[in-house]
Chains A and B, each alone.
Chain A
Amino acid sequence: MSRNPYVRPVSPTTWYMRNGRYIKYMLREVTCLLVGFYSFFLICVLAILAGGSEERWLAFLASQQNAFWLAFHVIALLFYLVYMTFDWFQLAPKAMPLQVGEQKVPPAFIVAAHYVAWAVVTALVFLLAGVF
């Protein structure tokens, strides 16, 4: 008997369409575009501040105040929360499991701790920015 193994082809460009869990993973991965975009957005803010002109800052703020940017930020925020932030918290107990004595700390507890810390950090940023 001769061996003649058959290798099933895998599409390198569309493999993730076969299963919902892979699509969810890809949505998480493309959040890096938002992280990159907002990082450079912040660099632009720094560039304007470095210019030292209040007029340019006011002009920048004015250029932001329209329906396009409002929609952009709102959609970006929702997408980012679901596929980046919440996903990151959900996976945290896998990367950093805790065990106290013989007892494993329930993963849900670690996830909850992340949400609490996130709420505190968010509140601090808002406080610092003078939202409240």
Chain B
Amino acid sequence: MAIAKKSVVWGVFAAGGTVAAFLFPALIALFGLVASGTVPEGLEYANLHGFASTWIGKIILFFVISLALWHAAHRLRVVFHDFGVRKDKIVAKAVYLVAAIGTLLTAYYLFAIG
């Protein structure tokens, strides 16, 4: 017997949950503000592009998005179980694969922004 690898995804789930709990309300509010017709200064093209071009901006964006994704993936795995889907191995592979693809895409686009 040994400590299961689940401990690793649980660690990422917990870290991602903390990030998502603290940051996502503000982000959703920003998108809401845009939808209401007011585009805040920071979301103008030059400013946002400028932020994503800095190293600190890239690091923040990468960790926020990827951690939140892995949080969502792990919790979704539990949701499937709780709604009666008993194919945990397949569910786990599928949700973590989507999170991995999202993580790679985040890294790729951040790299491409230059």
Contact = CB atoms under 8 A, between A and B. Distances in A.
Contact of A66 (B14, B35, B42): B35
**Which secondary structure dominates chain B's binding surface?**
helix
B84 A36 contact: no
Contacts of A40: 69, 102
B75 A32 contact: yes
Nearest to B47: A130
**Which secondary structure dominates chain A's binding surface?**
helix
A105 interface: no
Given A42-B27, A130-B42, A84 B32 contact: no
B28 interface: yes
Interface in A1-24: 11-13, 16
Contacts of A47: 105, 109
A43 B65 contact: yes
A76 B9 CA distance: 26
Contacts of B71: 32, 35
B52 A32 contact: no
Given A32-B79, A46-B110, A121-B22, A129 B28 contact: no
B76 A33 contact: yes
B20 A84 contact: yes
A65 B41 CA distance: 16
B30 interface: yes
A36 B17 CA distance: 11
Interface of A: 11-13, 16, 26, 29-36, 38-43, 45-47, 49-50, 54, 57-58, 61, 64-66, 69-70, 72-74, 76-77, 80-81, 84-85, 88-89, 95, 117-118, 121-122, 125-126, 128-131
Interface of B: 14, 16-18, 20-37, 39-43, 45-49, 51-52, 61, 64-65, 68-69, 71-73, 75-76, 78-79, 82-84, 86, 102, 105-106, 108-110, 112-113
B72 A129 contact: no
12 contacts: A30-B79, A35-B68, A46-B109, A50-B110, A69-B35, A73-B28, A76-B28, A85-B25, A122-B26, A129-B43, A131-B33, A131-B42
